[in-house]
């Protein structure tokens, strides 16, 4: 048909203009294969690197005093609701502290539990001045507990060489600080041995 001839001549002329260096025989060869690939190189998209949001360094946190509790906030009564929340958290974690509950199961849960809000007492220590300190744990670090006492005094008690006790619904658990030298986040993923040497 006349239309197909026009189309063929148009394509031939278009290829001649687009590729002036190519001979007529080569253009004709391309047309017989009925597949024309024009040389076009798309621009490569450069992937933008995501900038990681950097948190504060330990030095910056100290300078900003992010973990320091203001003196006016160092009152035992303020943190009693936190202790009530902690008790409910432990009851839910241990599926209720019933009299027939297995002590090993509860002990295993407490070893990995968050202790912020727990009332603890120093029962044994190589330093006699620490024995008898009782209060709510406000902060737990790798080596120390920060405890607020009923006298509204903030005490920093080292874990090393100290034994702590905590009581909940008649169940008393002992924490051997020397075996507890971990941050709270690291402790939740650690596997503790239930049997082993116990010392201060």
Annotate 68-124 with DSSP letters as a single string: PPPGGG--GGGGHHHHHHHHHHHHHHTT---TTS-HHHHHHHHHHS--TT-EEEEEE
What CATH number did the domain enclosing 103 receive? 2.30.30.210
> How far is residue 157's CA from residue 137's CA, in Å, rounded to a whole number?
10
Q: Give the model's pLDDT for residue 193.
A: 65
Query: Who's near 30: CB < 8 A, 6+ residues apart?
Result: 15, 36
Local mean pLDDT, 10-residue blocks, the chain (200 residues): 72 78 74 62 70 76 80 91 93 78 78 90 93 94 93 93 89 86 79 60
Q: Could you tell me which of 76, 54, 40 has the C-alpha nearest to residue 148?
A: 76
Q: Give the model's pLDDT for residue 33.
A: 65
Q: Give the model's pLDDT for residue 37.
A: 60
Q: Quick check: is 185 in a domain?
A: yes
Q: Quick check: is 172 in a domain?
A: yes
Q: Quick check: is 170 in a domain?
A: yes
Q: Give the model's pLDDT for residue 196.
A: 52
Q: Quick check: is 57 in a domain?
A: no
Q: Quick check: is 106 in a domain?
A: yes
Q: How many domains does the structure of the chain reveal? A: 1
Q: Per the structure block, which two tokens stand in for 70?
A: 């203001």
Query: pTM for this one?
Result: 0.65
Give the structural domain span for 126. Answer: 73-189
Q: Quick check: is 47 in a domain?
A: no
Q: Quick check: is 53 in a domain?
A: no
Q: Quick check: is 139 in a domain?
A: yes
DSSP 160: T
Q: Give the model's pLDDT for residue 185.
A: 79
């Amino acid at each position: 048909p006349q239309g197909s001839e026009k189309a063929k001549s148009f394509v031939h002329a278009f290829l001649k203009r687009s590729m002036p260096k190519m001979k007529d025989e080569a253009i004709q060869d391309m047309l017989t294969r009925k597949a024309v690939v024009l040389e076009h190189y798309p621009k490569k998209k450069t992937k933008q690197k995501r900038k990681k949001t950097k948190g504060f360094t330990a030095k910056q946190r100290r300078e900003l005093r992010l973990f320091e509790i203001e003196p006016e906030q160092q009152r035992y009564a303020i943190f009693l609701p936190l202790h009530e929340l902690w008790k409910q958290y432990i009851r839910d974690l241990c599926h209720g502290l019933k009299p027939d509950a297995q002590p090993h199961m509860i002990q295993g849960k407490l070893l990995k539990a968050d202790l912020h809000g727990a009332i603890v007492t120093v029962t044994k220590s190589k330093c006699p001045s620490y024995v008898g300190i009782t209060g709510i744990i406000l902060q737990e670090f790798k080596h120390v507990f920060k405890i607020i006492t009923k006298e509204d005094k903030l005490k920093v008690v080292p874990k090393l060489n100290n034994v702590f006790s905590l009581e909940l619904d008649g169940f008393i658990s002992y924490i051997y600080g020397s075996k507890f030298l971990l941050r709270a986040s690291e402790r939740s993923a650690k596997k503790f041995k239930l049997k082993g040497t116990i010392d201060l």
